Structure 1
Amino acid sequence: MQHPLDEAPEKLCADLLEQAGGHALLREACAEASAVWDGDVTRPRGPRAALALAEMKADTDTLVAACLADPRLRDGFDESRMARRHGAPVARLVADVHRLNSFSETRAASESQAQAENLRRLLLAMVGDARSIVIKLAYRLERLRALPFVEDDALRRQVARETLDLFAPLAHRLGLGQLKWELEDLAFRHLEPDTYKRIARFLDERRTEREDYIVRVREQLQQALAAEGIEARVYGRPKHLYSIFGKMQRKRLSFEQLFDVRALRVQVESIADCYAALGIVHTLWDPIPGEYDDYIAHPKPNGYQSLHTAVHALGGKTLEVQIRTRVMHEQAE
Structure 2
Amino acid sequence: MAKYVAPTIDQILSKLKYMSPEELIRVRQAYELAERLHRGQKRSSGEDYITHPLAVADILTDLKAGVDTIIAGLLHDVVEDCDYTPEEIEEQFGTRVMKLVMGVTKLSKQTARELEPTDGHGKPLNGNGHGARRAPTRKEEWAENMRQLFMSSVEHPLILVIKLADRLHNMRTLYGHSSEAKRRRIAQETLEIFAPVANRLGMWQIKWELEDLSFRYLEPDTYQQIKHELAQRRETRERFVKEVEREIRREL
Common fold: TM-score over 0.5: yes
Q: Residue 151 of structure 1: CA displacement?
A: 0.7
Code of the residue aligned with 2:149 in structure 1: it is L
* CA gap 1:214/1:80 in 2 versus in 1, 3 angstroms: farther
* Secondary structure at the counterpart of residue 178 of structure 2: coil
d(CA) in 1 for partners of 2:143, 2:240: 40
- Structure 1 residue 64 corresponds to structure 2 residue 56: no
Cα deviation 1:148-171 (Å, max 9, x = unaligned): 121101100000000011000000
Question: Does the 8 A contact of 1:99 with 1:126 survive in 2?
Answer: no
Within 5 A, what are the aligned runs for 1:282-293? none
* Deviation of the 1:72 alpha carbon: 7.8
Paired residues, number: 212
CA 1:82/1:58 → structure 2, altered by over 3 Å: closer, same or farther? same
| C-alpha distance 177-161 of structure 1, shift in aligned 2 (>3 A) | same
User: C-alpha separation between the residues in 2 aligned to 1:76 and 1:203?
Assistant: 47
Cα distance, 1:117 vs. partner? 1.4
Partner of 1:14: 10
Shift of 1:214: 8.2
Q: Write out aligned runs for 1:150-299 (5 A).
A: 150-211=177-238
Contact 1:41 1:146 in 2 (8 A): no
**Superposed displacement of residue 65, structure 1:** 0.2
Question: Quick one: distance in 2 between partners of 1:202 and 1:177?
Answer: 24
Measured after TM superposition, the shift of residue 34 of structure 1 is 1.9
Could you say which residue in structure 2 is the equivalent of 1:79?
Answer: 86
Equivalents in 2 of 1:56, 1:206: separation in Å? Answer: 31
Letter in 2 for 1:29: A
Say which SS state the counterpart of residue 115 (structure 1) adopts: helix
Matched letter for residue 222 of structure 2: T
Please name the residue that 2:133 is paired with.
none
The structure-2 alpha-carbon separation of the partners of 1:3 and 1:161, relative to structure 1 and needing over 3 Å to count, comes to closer
2:25 counterpart residue number: 24
Q: CA deviation at 1:3?
A: 8.7
Bigger mean CA deviation after superposition, 139-148 or 71-80 = 71-80
CA contact (8 A) 2:53 2:73 kept: yes
Deviating more after overlay: 19-28 vs 198-207: 19-28
The 2-side partners of 1:133 and 1:68 are apart by 15
Report the RMSD for the aligned CA atoms in angstroms: 2.6
Query: What is the alpha-carbon distance in structure 2 between the residues aligned to residue 143 and residue 157 of structure 1?
Result: 13
Secondary structure class of the residue paired with 1:206: helix
Alpha carbons 1:49, 1:142 under 8 Å: kept: yes
Gaps of 5+ in 2: 118-124, 126-135, 244-252
Deviations 1:38-75 (A, max 9, x none): 34254671111010110111111110000001358634
CA distance in 2: counterparts of 1:101 and 1:77, whole angstroms:
16
Indicate yes or no: 2:72 matched with 1:45.
no
- Could you give the per-residue CA deviations for residues 2-24 of structure 1, whole angstroms, max 9, x where no partner exists? 9944x5xxx61111111124611
Note closer, same or farther for the CA distance 1:20–1:205 as it changes in structure 2 (3 Å cut): same
Q: Distance in 1 between matches of 2:143 and 2:241?
A: 38
Q: Is the 8 A contact 2:86 2:98 kept in 1?
A: yes
SS state of the match for residue 155, structure 2? coil
Unmatched runs of 5 consecutive residues or more in structure 1: 217-333
Partners of 2:89 and 2:3 in 1: CA distance: 28
| Alpha-carbon distance, 1:196 to partner | 0.4
TM-score (norm 1): 0.58
Distance 1:154 1:131, change over 3 A: same
What SS is found at the alignment partner of 1:45?
helix
Distance 1:214 1:130 in 2: 44
Q: What SS does the corresponding residue of 1:181 show, helix, strand or coil? A: helix
State the alpha-carbon separation in 1 of the partners of residues 43 and 188 from structure 2.
23
Contact 1:156–1:190, Cα closer than 8 Å, also in 2: yes
CA contact (8 A) 1:33 1:47 kept: no
Distance 2:216 2:188 in 1: 11
For the Cα contact (< 8 Å) 2:77–2:105, is it kept in 1?
Answer: no
Look up the equivalent residue of 1:40 and give its one-letter code: R
Letter in 1 for 2:115: T
